[in-house]
Structures are given as C-alpha cells and as structure tokens.
C-alpha cells in the first residue's frame, strides 16, 4: 500500500496514541494540514506558535504524556524556540514538528528557510532533519522514545516539504528499533547504605524536586516519608509531590521559600534529595547550603549528580524503584529512633509557628489574599498554571498543593507568557478538571492573544489577574537593590481586561476592594466556560520572605512585617 509522507506521519502519531496537536499552519506544512482534515486526531489552532509549544508543554505537565505541536518553517519554527528552551530546562517531554523547505533548497536561503535543527541543538534533548521518506516513520517513533525516556525533554523533527509529499510503498508496519530498555540497577546496596545513614541521623530531611512528579513517583515518596516519619521540603517544581496538608510538610525552600523549610535544610544532618538539580533559586549560596548534612542524591540523570552540590551517596536511578526499595528496606529494618526524630519534628513545628507565611492587611486588595481565597473556594483541587514573576511566587506560597501535576509553571527558564497557553494545554489534557491561570498583568500580555484560542474552543479556563500595573518582580528588585530607582517597570496603560475579555466573547469580572474578592472569585469559578477575573491589587506589594541572591538561606528578609538574619 502506497502512503505519502503526511499519511506516514499520522500513522506514527496514531501508533504513539497522540490525541491532540497544538499548531498553526503555513506553506511548508500545507500537505500535513490537508491530510489532517481526513484524520480523527484533534487539532487546537492557537493564535501564535509560541502558544502552540507552551500549550503542548502544559498538556504534558498535566497529563504525564508527551505533548505535540506542529508549526511551519521559518518564523513558525523560530517562534517555538523559547518554548522549547522552557521545556528543556524543566525536563518536559514534547515533540515539536516543524516544516522545512524542500531538501534541494536547504542552504540556499529559500523563502521561510531557517536552520532550526542548528538553532535548537543546545535546547533540545535531540533533534532530527528527515531527508528521506523511508526515514520518516522510524524518526517520529524514535522522537517519542527519546522525549519520554530517562530524563525527559523536548525533541524536534524538521520535515522538508518534498519528504512529506513523497510516496512510499508500505506493506506492513515499518521496522522500529526496540526502545532502549535501561538495565535495572541493583539498588539494594546503595539504598541500604542510605538507610544506614538515616538510622544514624538525628535531624534527617527529604528534599523533593520536579523529577518526582515527572517520574510519577509521588505515591512511593509519600509511602516512604510516612513510613520513616521524616519531614519533607520541596523545590518550586516539586510542589504537589508531597501534600502540603500533611504534618510532615515543611514548605517550599529557596529564595521565596518558607522559613521552616529554609531553616530545616540549613540545620539537617542528612538530606535525601530526590529528583532535584539544586537550582540556584533553591540553594542560594551553595557553600552555605545544608552545611551540616551528608547528602544522598537520587536522580535519573548522572549529569545532575555532583554538578552543583556534592553528594556523599549518589544513586543514579528512576525515582520510583529507588523510593520503593528504600521503603521496603526501611520496613525490614525498623530503626528505633522515634524519640530523636520526635524532637526534630517538634523543632520544625516551632519554626512553622514562629514565622508562618504572612502579609499585612490594608484597604487595598492583597494578592496573597486572592490566592488564599482561590485555594479555599477550589478546595485545593484545581490545576493552577501561572505566569512568571510575583504572581508565580504568590501562587506557590499560598495555594497549598496536595497532588502532583497540579502546578503548571515555568521553573528553570522563567518564561513570561507561559501561563495562559499552558493552561490551554492542561485543560485539553484534563477536560473535567478546573484549570486556573494565576497571572500578572505584565506576563499575561505576552501571549494574551491566546484568549482567542480559549474562546474558539470554549475551554473553561479561569484567568485570575493580580493586576498591579507594574512588572512586579522587576519593580521589587529595583526597590530592594537599586535604591527605588524604578526604570521601565510601570505599565499604566494596560488594557481594560474586562472589556478585552468581552471583546473575545469571554465573561469578564473585576474586583477593586477586598470585600469584592470572594464574590468575584465565586462567580467566576461557578460561571460555565472561560472567565477573566481582574483583581486590582496593592501596586507595590512585595513577595516575602526573600533571600538575597548569593546569601545563605537563613538570611531571610520578611519585609516590613519582620526580618530574620
């Protein structure tokens, strides 16, 4: 049976059980879009290619599956680069399909030609330029294997127009190399050594990162932590891996972390780090990070071991088998240390009581209050996407995440404009879940055109804007570190977001007083379909606590409320 390149492409996507493409058509992918009209696969037409890659990213984060986007050559491909880098930094499995000029024209500066494989070589896990139709099927299948295996990441496949138009005789399924099955590591010895260290520790702590969520290891993590009754802290990307409602939970650590979490890391004598890469926003001054602790580092990526923080005991493994082995061995050993751990947990409870996350109340709407009420009204069960900046940190601090895959945020790259299209991807992946984008007025405007996508497909995404008419985090740093010399951070001419929402056919609501917050949130969350809620918050509110870059985690600034050194 003869099939052209477009048909072979969709055949491979069907074999990978892809149900959704996020994309935008153009000249070099016209044949693919023509074939799409005869396929059952769902396509979400975004309003900008950056929206396509961020939506595929959000789909992957919410579903745990590979997200896929399809764009044309030239500017269509280059518009995805920021999103590809974003997925690469956060280890998100996405496959990016880009159009390309015919193979004979490559290198001749043809219309809408760019070397997208060259451009993305440093921000993809791997990329391909398909030069022959007989390579197409295998390449697509291999791209998915690479994207989701080991440490996940983005893979780009560049598709020249003549390859897509070519025809190939296909009698049966093309041969596909078996997925490289990683040999199962013998974990008994290193995990046994970890438990020996644990038995000797008086103040042990578990640090979890995004690798626990990506590795679908939340259940074994919870089982292990509860079995050994060790307190848990998390990075931003690890929020939801361990329930914020659990008594063992200490909070998020780092630059804007909780006092109890930062103090626990700084005073522990054993740190079991699972699925983390020790980002600078989590560690701050590396030389002062966990200064009294021996460190057990569990991660699938050997490159992450000893890269920033030296591990006393490295365990290169997927999180699930490592945590399950630890749990099994712990059950066999049952180390008698309840009394000493009880004293450690009591100390952490005291830190929580002494310095909880707090903010002062005024006649203005406080952004923290909006997030607190959002958590209360949703019961903590929403999928929360965020933009980047102050809004992101307030969401991380005051929306208490109990489940994995519930926080969709740009961690490593800090990409403004991420939240709205990522919320689209999350809503498509989880149509029965409530999806909320917590946004700042600055970041939202970077991809605000995706309101058109939400309206087009009637996606019931709720957008909560913490509107302070500033680039808030820039203003905060200029206040704290640049003598309040505000430079190019105010945005007084932001649009009327309610009118803008209505222009797209979306319900718009506004709150300007604290007494209006609960009513607007309740009405917005209960309204069917998409809603934009505009909260006019305290313009110069800061995110506290804050650790100045390059200083120890114990040196926390609590602002006007209080400060700890």
303, 330, 354: which is the final residue of a domain?
A: 354
If one counts the domains in the chain, the total is: 3
pLDDT at 220 over 80: yes
473 is catalytic: yes
Considering the entire predicted model, what is its pTM? 0.96
Residue 80 lies in a domain: yes
**Cα gap 480→494, rounded to integer Å:** 25
pLDDT at 6 over 60: yes
Q: What is the pLDDT of residues 83-140, one digit of tens each?
A: 999 999 999 999 999 999 999 999 999 999 999 999 999 999 999 999 999 999 999 9
pLDDT at 59 over 60: yes
Non-local CB neighbours of 275 within 8 Å, separated by 6+ positions: 208, 209, 210, 211, 212, 213, 214, 215, 217, 238, 241, 298, 299, 300, 319
522 is catalytic: no
**Cα gap 565→561, rounded to integer Å:** 14
Residue 85 tokens, joined: 């880098």
List the catalytic residue out of 16, 35, 49, 450.
49
- The pLDDT of residue 337 is 61
111 is catalytic: yes
- The pLDDT of residue 1 is 84
The DSSP bridge pattern shows strands 556-557 and 546-547 to be antiparallel
Q: Note whether 276 and 209 are within 8 A (CB).
A: yes
Q: Note whether 193 and 329 are within 8 A (CB).
A: no
- The pLDDT of residue 170 is 74
471 and 382 in a common domain: yes
Q: Is the preceding omega at residue 545 within 30 degrees of 0, hence cis?
A: yes
476 is catalytic: no
Instruction: Kindly report which listed range (175-189, 197-211, 225-239, 265-279) carries the lowest average pLDDT score.
Output: 175-189
pLDDT at 497 over 60: yes
> Edge to edge, what strands does the sheet with 67-71 contain?
42-45, 20-23, 67-71, 94-100, 155-160, 126-129
List the catalytic residue out of 161, 352, 366, 373.
161
237 is catalytic: no
Question: Average pLDDT, whole number, for the chain?
Answer: 95
- The pLDDT of residue 563 is 40
Residue 553 lies in a domain: no
Burial 321-350, CB ≥16 within 10 A → b, else e: bbbbbbbebbeeeeeebeeebeebbebbee
List the catalytic residue out of 237, 252, 473, 556.
473
Band of residue 172 on the pLDDT scale cut at 50, 70, 90: low
Residue 565 lies in a domain: no
List the catalytic residue out of 39, 112, 229, 555.
112
Q: Note whether 80 and 107 are within 8 A (CB).
A: no
The CATH number of residue 426's host domain is: 3.40.50.970
Band of residue 340 on the pLDDT scale cut at 50, 70, 90: confident
Mean predicted confidence (pLDDT) in 514-529: 98
- Look up the domain containing 254 and give its range: 188-354
- The pLDDT of residue 169 is 86
Q: What is the pLDDT of residues 11-34, one digit of tens each?
A: 999 999 999 999 999 999 999 999
- The pLDDT of residue 174 is 55
Helices (H), 16-148: 30-36, 49-63, 75-78, 81-89, 116-119, 136-148
Mean predicted confidence (pLDDT) in 295-320: 96
135, 169, 203: which is the final residue of a domain?
A: 169
Residue 302 lies in a domain: yes
Residue 144 lies in a domain: yes
pLDDT at 181 over 60: no
Pick from 267, 287, 273, 285: which is nearest to 547 by CA?
285
């Amino acid at each position: 049976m003869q099939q052209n390149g477009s048909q072979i492409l969709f055949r491979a996507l069907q074999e990978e059980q892809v149900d959704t493409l996020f994309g935008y058509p153009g000249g070099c992918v016209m044949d693919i879009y023509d074939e799409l009209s005869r396929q059952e696969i769902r396509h979400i037409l975004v309003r900008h290619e950056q929206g396509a890659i961020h939506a595929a990213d959000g789909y992957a984060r919410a579903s745990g599956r590979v997200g896929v986007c399809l764009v044309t050559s030239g500017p269509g491909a280059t518009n995805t680069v920021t999103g590809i880098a974003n997925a690469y930094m956060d280890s998100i499995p996405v496959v990016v399909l880009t159009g390309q000029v015919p193979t004979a024209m490559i290198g001749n500066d043809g219309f809408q030609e760019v070397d997208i494989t060259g451009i993305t070589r440093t921000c993809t896990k791997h990329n391909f330029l398909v030069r022959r139709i007989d390579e197409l099927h295998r390449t697509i299948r291999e791209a998915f294997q690479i994207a989701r295996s080991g440490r996940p990441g983005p893979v780009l496949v560049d598709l020249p127009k003549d390859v897509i138009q070519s025809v190939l005789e296909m009698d049966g399924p093309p041969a596909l190399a078996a997925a490289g099955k990683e040999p199962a590591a013998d974990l008994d010895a290193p995990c046994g050594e970890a438990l020996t260290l644990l038995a000797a520790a008086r103040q042990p702590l578990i640090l979890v990162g995004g690798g626990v969520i990506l590795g679908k290891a939340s259940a074994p993590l919870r089982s292990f932590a509860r079995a050994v009754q060790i307190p848990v802290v998390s990075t931003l990307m690890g929020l939801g891996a361990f329930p914020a409602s659990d008594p063992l939970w200490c909070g998020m650590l780092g630059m804007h972390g909780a006092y109890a979490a930062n103090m626990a890391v700084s005073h522990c004598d054993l740190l079991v780090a699972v699925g983390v890469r020790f980002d600078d926003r989590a560690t701050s001054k590396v030389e002062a990070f966990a200064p009294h602790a021996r460190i057990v580092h569990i991660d699938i990526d050997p490159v992450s071991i000893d890269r920033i923080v030296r591990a006393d005991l490295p365990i290169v493994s997927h999180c699930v088998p490592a945590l399950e082995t630890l749990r099994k061995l712990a059950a066999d050993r049952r180390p008698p240390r309840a009394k000493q751990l009880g004293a450690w947990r009591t100390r952490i409870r005291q830190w929580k009581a002494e310095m909880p996350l707090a903010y002062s109340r005024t006649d203005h709407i406080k952004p923290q209050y909006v997030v607190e009420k959002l958590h209360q009204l949703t019961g903590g069960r929403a999928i929360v996407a965020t933009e980047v900046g102050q809004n992101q940190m307030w969401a991380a601090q005051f929306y208490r995440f109990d489940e994995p895959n519930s926080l969709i945020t740009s961690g490593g790259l800090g990409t403004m404009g991420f939240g709205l299209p990522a919320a689209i991807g999350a809503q498509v992946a989880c149509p029965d879940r409530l999806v909320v984008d917590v946004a700042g007025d600055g970041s939202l405007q970077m991809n605000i055109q995706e309101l058109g996508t939400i309206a087009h497909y009637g996606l019931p995404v709720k957008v909560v804007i913490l509107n302070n008419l500033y680039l808030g985090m820039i203003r905060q740093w200029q206040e704290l570190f640049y003598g309040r010399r505000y430079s190019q951070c105010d945005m007084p001419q932001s649009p009327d977001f309610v009118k803008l929402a209505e222009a797209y056919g979306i319900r718009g609501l506004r709150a300007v007083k604290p007494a209006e917050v609960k009513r607007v949130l309740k009405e917005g969350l209960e309204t069917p379909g998409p809603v934009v809620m505009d909260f006019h918050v305290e313009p110069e509110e800061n995110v506290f606590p804050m650790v100045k870059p390059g200083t120890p985690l114990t040196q926390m600034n609590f602002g006007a409320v209080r400060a700890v050194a």
